[in-house]
Amino acid sequence: MLLGIGLACSAARAYAPSVADLDAAARAVGNRRDIAVRIGQTVFSTRWAAEVSQISANELNGHLIVGIRIWGVKFHQPITREQFVSEVITLIERSFATAPTAEEIDAWASVPISVGKGVIVSGDLAKPTSRTVFSISVRRGETPASIQARAAQSSDSVFWDDDWARTAFRGAH
């Protein structure tokens, strides 16, 4: 009988989730939440300078699209614009590696918007509580060098909020 209790106790410890597992489950959304959780387990095993706040995975008619939302404020450490782009590229690469059927990864950074007391922030009449300050969409097969080149400046395929980019980074250009 004591042997059975000992085995039960050690089995319970073997299933204790890691912080990465908990973050992955808490921050996963979409109709393919299972894929978002798997990506999150990979992503949240690293402490990034920019906080990843959500991983989404949505599939429609056999097409899987993954989204990575990053907070564009309160970085865990000072970073340059180039370091931010490098982090985004690594997040995208890890996401593609973890979700081999994903066709596209959309990554974006948001900052909070102050809203007044009593303002509706959920439902059909909701006012926005954040705004996008950076976004990029990457199709499977694009090289890191190509992503880096595209992310260097605003264009039809990459959005940078100029005011945010000027003030958010250490040594910003």
The domains of the chain are located at 17-168
Question: Please, which residues have CB within 8 angstroms of residue 115's CB and are 6 or more apart in sequence?
Answer: 121, 127, 129
Bigger pLDDT: 66 vs 1: 66
Confidence of residue 18 (pLDDT cuts 50, 70, 90): confident
Q: Would the pTM count as exceeding 0.85?
A: no
State pLDDT tens for residues 131-173: 999 999 999 999 999 999 999 888 888 999 999 999 999 864 4
Residue 60 CA to its chain's centroid (Å)? 20
Average pLDDT of 58-80?
95
Q: Which residue has the higher pLDDT, 43 or 16?
A: 43
d(CA 55, CA 57): 7
